[in-house]
Amino acid sequence: MSVSTDKLDLPMITDHDWTTDHWKKFWNSAPVIPFQLNEFNPELLKREKMLFPIPDKKYRVLFPLCGKSYDMKWVADKGHTVIGVDCSEKALTDFFNEHGMTFVVKNDGSFKILQSTTAGCNIMLYVGDFFNLPSASFEKCDAVFDYGSVIAIKPEERRKYADVINKKTTRDVNYLLCAFDFNGYMDPKPPTYANSPVMVVDAFGDIFNIKPILDVDRERYLRGVPKPVAREHYYYLTKK
Ligand X SMILES: C[S@@+](CC[C@H](N)C(=O)[O-])C[C@H]1O[C@@H](n2cnc3c(N)ncnc32)[C@H](O)[C@@H]1O
Q: CB of residue 119 vs ligand X: minimum separation in angstroms?
A: 26
Largest CA distance in the chain: 50
* Rounded Cα–Cα distance for residues 179 and 119 (Å): 33
Please state, in angstroms and rounded to a whole number, the distance separating the CA atoms of residues 79 and 73. Answer: 10
Nearer to ligand X, 145 or 208 (CB): 145
Strands (E), 64-122: 81-86, 103-108, 111-116
Using alpha carbons, list the distances in angstroms from residue 83 to 52, 75, 154: 15, 11, 23
Of 131 and 138, CB closest to ligand X: 131
Q: How far apart are CA 5 and CA 191, in angstroms?
A: 12
Least distance CB 55 / ligand X (angstroms):
27
Task: Tell the smallest beta-carbon distance from residue 84 to ligand X (Å).
Answer: 9
State the residues that interact with ligand X by CB under 6 A. 20, 23, 27, 35-36, 65-67, 69, 85-88, 91, 129-131, 147-149, 152
Whole-number minimum distance, CB 215 to ligand X, in Å?
Answer: 17
Shortest distance, position 73 Cβ to ligand X, whole Å = 12
Interatomic CA distance for residues 208 and 162, integer angstroms: 9
The nearer residue to ligand X, 20 or 183, going by C-beta atoms, is 20
Helix (H) or strand (E) holding 213: strand 208-218
Closer of 20 and 170 to ligand X (Cβ) = 20
Residue 2 CB contacts under 8 Å (≥ 6 apart), including other chains: 182, 183, 184, 185, 186, 187
Nearer to ligand X by C-beta: 54 or 105? Answer: 105
Instruction: Look at residues 212, 207, 205 and name the one whose alpha carbon lies nearest to residue 177.
Output: 212
User: Minimum distance from CB of 161 to ligand X (Å)?
Assistant: 9
When the beta carbons of 150 and 173 are compared against ligand X, the nearer one is: 150
